[in-house]
Structure 1
Amino acid sequence: MLRLPDFDEQIDRRGTHSAKWDTMEKYYGVAASDGIAMWVADMDFRPPPCVQQAVERMAAHGVYGYFGDDRTNSDAIRWWMKTRHGWDVASEAIFTTHGLVNGTALCVDAFTAPGDGVVLMTPVYHAFARIIRSAGREVVECRLRIEEGRYVLDIAGWDAQMTGRERMLMLCSPHNPGGRVWTCDELREIAAFCKRHDLILVADEIHHDLVMPGARHTVMPLAAPEIADRLVMMTATTKTFNIAGAHVGNVIIPDEPLRERFRARMNAHGISPNSFGMAMATAAYSPEGAAWVDRLVAYLDGNRKLFDDGVNTIPGLRSMPLEATYLAWVDFGGAGMEPAEFTARVEKQAKIAVNHGASFGAGGDSFLRFNLATPRATVIEAVERLKEAFRDLQ
């Protein structure tokens, strides 16, 4: 019998080497003693019991040697993708990386050369640009447009930007930080854009299990099977089950020539799996894990509604409709303030550590990103602090 998760439980993460709680004063000047951490994209919840039990079994065994024979992990991945996403994955297409930031770096290394352009649909997950620039590649920012309060594509504008030096597009699907679930038609437009400009398409779908009621996510291989020869898929248990510290991710490549190029770079970097991460991921991709995720999404949906209802009552602030992820993207552009002022109010007055919109690239300056994967009482407290910090606007 599945033990019901208690997402309302307040778990004190301070002093546990938590990046989210123990470094927020260093980066944002918000003390953990009376501040609220709503920046790093991990959850303040325990994973499902099946994951904890997998770790406990390893600890009970007491020998922590090299990991070998990944068939059970591969089978779990294939089962999850088929039952949750309707996607048939071949076992030989699966690579295990040290998380998807590592997977992103390996893709940049495998499929581009120094000086090449890598296309980002901005604003978008900030680690992409950091990795691309650190690798000596050029970030090509193709800005998303906002229509009726949410992001849409601007394919015609992006076509005009291309110079022929671009070799790859990094897609965030569902979109972080905007929370968009791209439609099949939009995904096909992106696929056609990549084919037209001869781009490798790397689809980061790390949030594809965290889709709000009423929205429907389609994995890219099903939306645009015609681009299988240029498609790299990235998925993971880490966001879904709150096991980011396990540093384990799936890079799934349908095309054999692309697989060989990726395998060569993995071998060159000496990548091998983390035993604890493999055990946790295998346990997570299971019927028990699926039932836990369903309850998690229902809880996150409640947090989303509560947060949006509160923030959207503050004149000049608008939370973008969240279709997926647990990351609220709030536009302060109508408040009549420069970013430094509204950010200071959030951090110094409300004492909430959040991600700055500018770090997500072009189009993000007027935004802040809030992590809602925390007990509901914390979300309620954060909303009240924001109302107080912007009381003069009301």
Structure 2
Amino acid sequence: MTTPDFDEIIDRRGTHCSKWDDMAAQYGVSAHDGIAMWVADMDFRPPAAVQRAVEAHAAHGIYGYPGANRPYLDAICWWMQARHGWQIQPDWVLTCAGLVNGVAMALDALTQPGDGVIVMSPVYHAFARTIRASGRKLVEMPLALDQGLYRMDWQNWQAQLTGDERMLILCSPHNPGGRVWSEPELREVADFCTRNDLILISDDIHCDLVMPGAPRHRMIAALIPELADRLVTLTAATKSFNIAGAHIGNAIVADPDLRARFKAALMARGISPAFMGMDMVAAAYSPEGAEWIDHLCAYLDGNRRLFDQGVNAIPGLRSMPLQATYLAWVDFSGTGMAQAEFIARVEGQARIAANHGASFGTGGEDFLRFNLATPRARVAEAVQRLAAAFSDLQ
């Protein structure tokens, strides 16, 4: 394949793009002179194989109900085995309308209103929103900071339990902290869930986006197969290949009982996959897609190094070491500034839209999340703007 040109500046303004077209309304940062570093999608085109699949549909010109989905299922099975060493069966795969929908379906199928659902905060903000909207009780278990990285705090978490908890949602790799959980940590997750009779939802949407040289990401389902009777693994090609608009994701469930309950929730709501999305996934989960991902991760690693070098040179700012994802998690607590002040400098002076850390829950209040999946020239410009906005600290 031709080496992807991730340096190409693609103007996404005016294309019904949330990341750029909603930036002014959300953050007061104009798309004309601002830098969008918030919504977790990439400013890169997907692999050419995905574009060819879409163009083949357009050339045919008929967009009816989808039929056989075996190529799609086979591609998922191949990808999980080839890239993650996880052998799955096609009938384990249940398709949902993206992974937030997958979380909602799991809550509906496997818990009851009023049940406690545990998240390790700070964590992806849609978890809390979906838990609350479903009438379940959000239970935040704060991650501990240890030498600049998050770690799980089992002793305190066990003491915090009330007995009302029925589910734990694991974000693996972690968003926004960028941690790849180690094998011992994943075994501790399994032990905690088994000991406390919790259903485990493992959101592995960033599993393909691991930095070169970082620890290997392990699917907890492959690592601990005996956990199957309480485990739902959520995966998607959408984050890896920048096709989030396809709104398609997978709940992979080995246990027949759990799978039947999840499937019933999908059927009760009439949820079925879009044929365009299935073909995009089948095209992405391929040897060509694998090569593209390798190029992507190498490029993202270059962006990470550039961003961290610049941000960590600013007194009071610290970017958490990024092992996976393309989302930098920057701590502003060293500035001594209130949240409103450092946000005002980033948005008002640097004209950068970044996610507010408080939206990720307890422990995120002193942070902002920056999306690095954009051409390197923009990352360099963002670093220069941040340095200027906090120049009085230097």
Give the TM-score range, shorter chain.
over 0.9
Q: What's 2:14 paired with?
A: 15
- 1:370 match: secondary structure: strand
Counterpart amino acid of residue 123 in structure 1: P
Partner in structure 1 of residue 102 of structure 2: 103
1:393 aligns with 2:387: no
Aligned-partner Cα distance in 1 for 2:262–2:99:
14
Aligned-partner residue type, residue 379 of structure 2: V
Match of 1:342 in 2: 342
Is the aligned partner of 1:218 residue 2:218?
Answer: yes
Which residue is 2:162 aligned to?
Answer: 163
* TM-fit CA distance, 1:18: 0.3
Does 2:328 align with 1:297? no
| In the alignment, structure 1 residue 69 sits paired with structure 2 residue 76 | no
Q: What is the match of residue 232 of structure 2?
A: 232
Aligned letter for 2:67?
G
Greater mean deviation of Cα atoms: 124-133 or 207-216: 207-216
| Residue 141 of structure 1, CA deviation | 0.2
1:297 is displaced (CA, Å) by 0.2
Task: Give the secondary-structure state (helix, strand or coil) at the position aligned to 1:294.
Answer: helix
| Cα distance in 2, alignment partners of residues 66 and 206 from structure 1 | 27
CA distance in structure 2 between the aligned counterparts of 1:263 and 1:321, rounded to whole angstroms: 38
Q: Report the counterpart of residue 205 of structure 2 in structure 1.
A: 206
Provide the secondary structure at the position in 1 that maps to 2:209.
coil
Amino acid in the other structure paired with 2:343:
T
Shift of 1:270: 0.3
Gap regions ≥5 residues in structure 2: none
Give the 3-state SS of the residue equivalent to 1:34 in structure 2. Answer: coil
Q: Give the equivalent residue in structure 1 for 2:40.
A: 41
Describe how 1:210-359 pairs up with structure 2 within 5 A. 210-215=209-214, 216-359=216-359
Q: Secondary structure at the match of 1:354?
A: strand
| Structure 1 position 68, deviation (Å) | 1.5
Aligned counterpart, 2:112:
113
Separation (CA, whole Å) in 2 of partners of 1:279 and 1:151: 37
Instruction: Give the Cα separation in 2 of the matches to 1:226 and 1:316.
Output: 45
How far does the alpha carbon of each residue in 1:83-130 deviate from its partner, in whole angstroms, 9 at most, with x for none? 000000011100111110111110111111110000000000000000
Post-superposition Cα deviations, 1:224-243, rounded to whole Å, max 9, x if no partner, equal 22211100000000010000
Q: What per-residue deviation string (whole Å, max 9, x for no partner) do you get for residues 254-298 of structure 1?
A: 100000100110010000111111110010000000000000000
After TM superposition, give the deviation of residue 67 of structure 1 in Å: 1.1
Q: Which amino acid aligns with 2:151?
A: V
Q: How does 1:120-135 map to 2 (within 5 A)?
A: 120-135=119-134
CA distance in 2, matches of 1:157, 1:84: 35
1:352-371, aligned counterparts within 5 Å? 352-371=352-371
The Cα of 1:134 is off from its aligned counterpart by 0.5
User: Once the 2 structures are TM-superposed, how far is the Cα of residue 70 of structure 1 from its aligned partner?
Assistant: 1.0
Residue 223 of structure 1: how far off its partner (Å): 2.3
State the Cα distance separating 1:339 from its structure 2 match: 0.5
Instruction: Give how far 1:222 is off.
Output: 2.1
Q: Deviations over 1:2-45 (max 9, x none)?
A: 12110000000000000000001101000101000000000000
Matches of 1:68 and 1:104 in 2, distance apart?
Answer: 26
Q: Which amino acid aligns with 1:112?
A: T
Q: Which amino acid aligns with 2:209?
A: L
Distance 2:374 2:257 in 1: 43
Distance 1:266 1:114 in 2: 18
Residue type of the alignment partner of 1:162: L
Q: TM-score, normalised by structure 2?
A: 0.99
Q: Which amino acid aligns with 2:11?
A: D
Aligned residues with identical type, % of pairs: 66
**Whole-angstrom distance in 1 between the partners of 2:338 and 2:255:** 47
Provide the aligned length of Structure 1 versus Structure 2: 393
* RMSD, matched Cα: 0.5
Q: What corresponds to 2:144 in structure 1? A: 145
TM-fit CA distance, 1:69: 1.1
CA distance in 2, matches of 1:393, 1:240: 37
Q: Distance in 1 between matches of 2:276 and 2:69?
A: 13
Per-residue CA deviation, residues 284-337 of structure 1 (Å, 9 max, x unaligned), is: 000000000000000000000000000000001000000000000000000010
CA distance in structure 1 between the aligned counterparts of 2:213 and 2:226, rounded to whole angstroms: 28
Tell me what 1:136 maps to: 135
Q: Which amino acid aligns with 1:387?
A: A
CA distance in 2 between counterparts of 1:223 and 1:188 reads: 8
1:173 maps to a residue whose letter is: S
* Cα drift, residue 56 of structure 1: 0.2
Partner SS for 1:12: coil
CA drift at 1:47: 0.2
Q: Which runs of 4+ in 1 moved over 2 A?
A: none
Give the aligned residue type for 2:224. A
Deviation at 1:152, TM superposition (A): 0.4
Tell me the distance in 1 between the aligned counterparts of 2:162 and 2:193: 13
User: CA–CA distance in 2 between the matches of 1:222 and 1:262?
Assistant: 20
Q: Distance in 1 between matches of 2:67 and 2:335?
A: 55
Aligned to 2:24: 25
Superposed displacement of residue 221, structure 1: 1.1
Q: TM-score, normalised by structure 1?
A: 0.99
* 1:58 paired residue number: 57
Q: Distance in 2 between matches of 1:8 and 1:197?
A: 48
Q: Deviations over 1:49-95 (max 9, x none)?
A: 00000000000111100112111000000000000000000111001
Q: Which digits, 9 at most, give the CA deviation of each residue in 1:318-365, with x for residues without a partner? A: 000000000000000000100000001000000000000000000000
